[in-house]
Amino acid sequence: MPTARSGAAVVRQTRLWLGLVLFTYLTTHFLNHALGLISLDAMMAGRDWFVLLWRSRAGTLALYTALFGHLLLAYWSLYRRRTLRMPGWEALQLSLGLSIPLLLVWHVVGTRLAHEMAGTRDTYTLVVLNLWKLDPVAGWRQTTALVVAWLHGCVGLHFWLRLRPWYPRYARALYTGFLLLPVLALLGFAEAGREVSRLAAEPAFVPGVVAESRLPSPAQRLALGRVSRGVFWGHLGAIALVLAARGARERRRRRQGLRVTYPDGREVVVPLGFTILEASRLAGIPHASVCGGRGRCSTCRVRVVRGAERLPLATVDELRVLGRVGVPAHVRLACQVRPLGDVAVVPLVPAAGAGSGDAAGVADQREGRERTIAVLFADLRGFTRLAERKLPYDVVFILNRYFEAVGGAITEAGGLVNQFTGDGVMALFGVESGPEEGSRGPNGAHKVLDRREQTERAFLAYCLALPDEGERRLAEADPDELFSAPMTRRAAEYLRGRLRTPAADLPPGDEALARLVAELVIRAGQLEATPAKLELEALQLDLSRLDRLIAGARVSGGEGMRELATQRQVVLDAIRHRLN
């Protein structure tokens, strides 16, 4: 499938990074406000550092490039939308973002522009005096502006980070910080306001602050007022112009409309430039889209049954997702492809339980999260042949024992049993800790695969349950060769000759050996042991020994592997004979 560069992705990334600059500015501003909880002097001292950063040439360039760039790209994104139907969170973020200039313009012009035009010293004392005492309405407007700007940034950060694998682990801490910082900032502003009110009770305080601040002249104040009103109405006019341009474009495109046909024969006529997912949303047709139509998942994919030649080239973002799921060439992402003519499609992921809200793009509370984890698949070797020879209840008994053993081992190793299907099991590791820890950590998936120690412990338990037969087998066994786990090897050496009195001669201070022997004694008392079952455990142990020897021979060049493989087959046949 040919590729094409996605301009929308570039715009989205640019808007994101510009927004991060603005969010950093807002965070430092809030931290400066929070110093008001200490004193007004602390706020002034913090402001010196704040001004040093953001009123330097580099800081000014970064701040105003981010401010105007972010706003212009917001206009462009609004114009580019094919439909104004969108998820609730996206509508909230867009509304908050577009309202910020209307709320902040008076403050920005009255501080930074007044400083540049008239040399005004916009200290915290002057600003707090004005907002808290002289013009409380402006104070409420500024408070609202800060809260709106912070909410806008937090919503954007959340929906940028929510699919990162590490985000759920730190989400609560981040939420706490996002909530605590503006609260501390507003409390600092209120405490500074009360301090200024106390100082203003002195007759000379307000005239002194005014004199030190070098306020603009009447003519300069008129000019600043015209700038404020110009920016206010200019922003509203820009929004209206963008919406009018959108309307004109959509009317033109409706005259050049195309048809999207769905499996039930339903046809949707949409303007040229709509994505297939937007067509579904416009018509109220349920269409799965876990990531909200941003090309981060494959749940909106469709099979194109007619009109594939009328589709544009796949973007890099679309190919990245489709390549991960390994789909054929005629499958495309509905949220990324914009047909150039009539097409017929079949959505491949059912929108289970979807209603009109889902079709309109409202986020489902059951949406998934993108994770990289370790997945374990295991099943019984030769189960079909075994099941054909056993009675149904015997098969059920074997499966129950198998599921109990495997499920317990998975849980002990920190995994989650996802499903049992027939004789197969699928388990997930690293759901919380990540794939590396899940597959290789101390309680990882690899631990479930090594059942040798469990086999060795089971053999010793049967020896304890049948001490006469067990003594004979332990006397004939070479612990160094038969037992791979150090603890079971030590237990075998200790139990030889002590199966009837296993706790009598435990070495003092060896708690690990004492715990293992106690565990084996308890396990032996729970067994329905027979010589045949002990024989089967001994064969399993011998099979494990031969597997280790074969693995070692393979590493050393393969010498002796044929003889070992023959011995293994003999043991395996003996096990199958006893199972049958």
Q: Give the range among 121-125, 404-408, 458-462 with minimum mean pLDDT.
A: 404-408
Q: Can you tell me the distance from the alpha carbon of 318 to that of 298, in angstroms, rounded to the nearest whole number? A: 9
Whether the predicted pLDDT of 4 surpasses 60 = no
pLDDT digits (tens, 9 = 90+) for 518-532: 888 888 888 888 888
Angle between helices 452-465 and 531-555 (to 10 degrees): 150
279-293, 359-373, 552-566, range with the lowest pLDDT? 359-373
Band of residue 363 on the pLDDT scale cut at 50, 70, 90: very low
In this model, does residue 28 exceed pLDDT 90? Answer: yes
DSSP letters for 238-294: HHHHHHHHHHHHHHHHHTT-EEEE-TTS-EEEE-TT--HHHHHHHHT-----TT-SS
Q: Which fold, 8-250?
A: 3 helical TM bundles of succinate and fumarate reductases (1.20.1300)
pTM score: 0.49
Instruction: Please say whether the structural domain 258-359 has been given the CATH code 3.10.20.30.
Output: yes
Q: Is the pLDDT of residue 542 over 80?
A: yes
Name beta bridge partners: 381: none
Q: Which residue has the tokens 């349920």?
A: 286
User: In which residue are the tokens 């139990």 written?
Assistant: 495
Edge-first strand order for the sheet with 374-378 is: 374-378, 424-429, 416-421
Residue-level pLDDT at 356: 35
3-29 mean pLDDT: 79
Q: What is the mean pLDDT of residues 6-14?
A: 72
Does the pLDDT of residue 409 top 50, yes or no? yes
Q: How confident is the model at residue 369 (pLDDT cuts 50, 70, 90)?
A: low
Provide the H-helix boundaries in 6-87: 7-34, 40-54, 57-80
CATH homologous superfamily of 374-449 equals Nucleotide cyclase, GGDEF domain (3.30.70.1230)
Q: Quick one: average pLDDT of 560-574?
A: 84
Mean pLDDT value of segment 528-553: 84
pLDDT of 361: 39
Average pLDDT, the chain: 82
pLDDT of residue 500 exceeding 50: yes
H or E element that contains 537: helix 531-555
Would you kindly state where each structural domain of the chain is located, as residue ranges? 8-250, 258-359, 374-449, 452-579
Phi/psi region, residue 161 (left: phi>0; alpha: psi -120 to 50; beta: rest), is alpha
- Is the per-residue pLDDT at 254 higher than 80? no
Which of the residue ranges 75-84, 117-126, 308-317 would you say has the lowest mean pLDDT? Answer: 75-84
Binned at pLDDT 50, 70 and 90, residue 212 comes out as confident
Contacts with 3 (C-beta within 8 Å, 6 or more apart), sequence order = 313, 314, 315, 316, 319
More confident residue, 395 or 116: 116
Q: What pLDDT does 355 receive?
A: 38
Which residue is associated with the tokens 């308890």?
522
Say yes or no to pLDDT of 222 above 70: yes
Where does the pLDDT of residue 357 fall: very low under 50, low under 70, confident under 90, or very high at 90 and above? very low
Kindly tell me the sign of the dihedral angle through the C-alpha atoms of 60, 62, 68, 70.
negative
Share of the chain above pLDDT 90, in %: 16
pLDDT at residue 448 greater than cutoff 70: no
Most confident segment among 109-118, 133-142, 229-238: 229-238
Give the CB-side neighbour count of residue 139, counting CA atoms within 13 A: 16
Q: Quickly state the pLDDT bin for 371 (edges 50, 70, 90).
A: low
pLDDT interval class at 23 (50, 70, 90): very high
Tokens for 510, please give them: 């060896």
Contact 75, 243 (CB under 8 A): no
Q: Is the pLDDT of residue 557 over 70?
A: no
Q: What is the pLDDT of residue 476?
A: 86
pLDDT of 450: 58
Split at pLDDT 50, 70, 90, the class of 479 is confident
Distance set, CA 365 to CA 282, 292, 381, 424 (Å) = 21, 12, 41, 31
- Judged against a pLDDT cut of 90, whether residue 483 lies above it is answered with no
At residue 580 the predicted structure's pLDDT band, cuts being 50, 70 and 90, is low
- Angstrom distance (rounded) from CA 179 to CA 164: 21
CATH fold match for the domains 8-250 and 374-449: no
Residue 96 pLDDT exceeds 90: no
Tell me what pLDDT residue 148 has: 92
Q: Which residue has better confidence, 75 or 510?
A: 75
Q: What is the dihedral of CA 567, 572, 573, 574, to 10 degrees?
A: 90
Where is average pLDDT lowest: 267-281, 311-325, 343-357, 536-550? 343-357
In the predicted structure, residue 382 carries a pLDDT above the cut 80 = no
Greatest distance between any 2 Cα atoms in the chain = 111
